[in-house]
Amino acid sequence: MSSTPAGPNPHLVARMQGHRLSIFGEMSALAVETGAINLGQGFPDTDGPPEVTAAAVQAIRDGFNQYPPDRGIPELRQAVADHQRRFYGLEVDADDVMVSTGASEALGAAVMALVEPGQEVVVFEPYFDLYAAVIELAGGVRRAVTLRAPDYSFDPDELEAAVGPDTRLLMLNTPHNPTGKVFDRAELETVARVAIEHDLVVVTDEVYEHMTFDGTVHVPLASLPGMAERTVTISSGGKSFGLTGWKVGWAHAPGELIRAVHTVKQHLSFTSGAPFQRAMVTALNLGDDYFTGLADDLRAKRDLVSAGLASAGLDVYPASGTYYVTADVRPLGYDDGMDFCRDLPGRCGVVAVPNRVFYDDADAGRTIVRFATCKRFEVLDEAMDRLSGLAG
Ligand SMILES: *Cc1c(COP(=O)(O)O)cnc(C)c1O
């Protein structure tokens, strides 16, 4: 991993100059350099279910190694449709499902397919950094609505005010990275009302859909009245099955909407991951015990990390989903999370990520940092042990 030098890159188009530095790259490099425990980047340190990895090996042996169909293998498109009915009662036609190279590619293709240069895209901040980059690649203009700690709620008036005559798209990530927030039904109804009133398309990012705790449930925006026809629903198997390196994702939307997204997608990767697509059918059809086990495991890890951070002296915010916990560093004498994250490996051998890079309003996230909880219990125990030194 090479570090990014200061100053513009003369080869790079202007609209990407501000997107060269991925905070995950910087912090993961710092973890490698210092030998610190990496609770920065969100990937698990164990692999997904053995029957799923075995299915991929079998698919390679069975000769599924050439280009799969451009919209994905029919079995996987059907498995996605079945999954949407099974978990959410959503009726999705397998013909309206598109397989992608991770949720990332579907997100990029959706924005490039749907946003004309100069049109506006409303996002909630903190936002996943890929959103900002693909909006700029498409020539779009970002309008951010701030989710405010401690509960990361938003002001409906702020959402209304962010929408104007040039707004084309709204992007919604729930369960939400980096905050661990799960949008509740009332909040989703507000989003739906605004989208319908202003005739917007909504692109949802639901990659943490199976990670909700304490009775909180994930509600796909497409399941709200009037929303299926204007929502591009995106998810992937990376987070749900502990297989982030496979990059099998998908999107669904009715008719012409998904075909617009697919038009762009076919010129990005065309297709990918033939044996992994087959194995993902096995994954999506796993029994309920897999999905409840995943959520139980991550709830216990959230509890462990939240308690550890609190006893280390941080002001911990509640998380009801995903595998992240956020906390404010001010009680430890820092007024900038970036400084805290740069000091942390040296001070106690742990890496976290500063949330300020996920905001347009830098003040709103200046003192907040994110810790990933998707590691083995012994790793998290060791990390919390190291952090306990900060309190002193
Ligand atoms: C990890 C992540 C993605 C990317 O998913 P892939 O399937 O790996 O491309 C997209 N959105 C959010 C919020 C994520 O955390």
Q: Whose CA is nearest to atom 7 of ligand 1?
A: 102
CB of 373 shorter than 6 A to ligand 1: no
User: DSSP secondary-structure letter at 81?
Assistant: H
Residue 236 beta carbon below 6 angstroms from any ligand 1 atom: yes
Q: From CA 224, how far away is CA 137, in angstroms rounded?
A: 30
Tell me if 178 CB under 6 Å of ligand 1.
Answer: no
Percent of the chain with pLDDT strictly greater than 90? 92
Question: Average pLDDT over the chain, rounded to whole?
Answer: 96
Given this model, what pLDDT does residue 2 score? 41
Give per-residue pLDDT as tens, 116-152.
Answer: 999 999 999 999 999 999 999 999 999 999 999 999 9
**Ligand 1: residue whose CA is nearest its atom 13:** 177
Q: Is the C-beta atom of 201 inside 6 A of ligand 1?
A: no
What stretch of H or E contains 197? helix 185-197
Which helix or strand (DSSP H or E) is residue 389 part of?
A: helix 377-391
Distance 255 CA to ligand 1 centre (A): 24
The alpha helices in 198-327, defined as continuous H runs, are 237-240, 255-265, 274-284, 288-311
Is this prediction's pTM over 0.85? yes
Q: What are phi and psi of 327, to 5 degrees?
A: -155, 155
Instruction: With cut-offs at 50, 70 and 90, classify the pLDDT of residue 6.
Output: low
Matching residue, tokens 């927030």:
181
Residue 179 near residue 130, CB atoms below 8 Å: no
The pLDDT tens digits of the residues spanning 219-228 come to: 999 999 999 9
Residue to probe by mutation, ligand 1, list 236, 244, 373, most atoms within 8 Å of CB: 236
Cβ 244 under 6 angstroms from ligand 1: yes
pLDDT of residue 5: 59
Q: Phi/psi zone of residue 199: left (φ > 0), alpha (ψ -120 to 50 degrees), beta?
A: left
Hey, what amino acid is at 194? V
Tell me the C-alpha distance between 228 and 12, whole Å. 38
Q: Is the pLDDT of residue 342 over 90?
A: yes
Q: Is the CB of residue 152 less than 8 Å from the CB of residue 292?
A: no
pLDDT at 191 over 70: yes
249 lines ligand 1 (CB under 6 A): yes
391: pLDDT confidence band, cut at 50, 70 and 90? confident
Give tens-digit pLDDT for 30-59: 899 999 999 998 889 999 999 999 999 999
CB contact at 8 A, 234 and 205: yes
Pairing between strand 231-236 and 201-205?
A: parallel
Say if ligand 1 is within 6 A of residue 334 CB. Answer: no
Q: CA 143 to CA 125: how far, in whole Å?
A: 9
How far apart (Å, rounded) are the C-alpha atoms in residues 194 and 189? Answer: 9
Interatomic CA distance for residues 326 and 360, integer angstroms: 18
Token pair of 61 as six digits: 């042996």
Nearest CA to ligand 1 atom 5: 103
pLDDT at site 1: 34
Q: Is 104 in the pocket of ligand 1 (CB under 6 A)?
A: yes
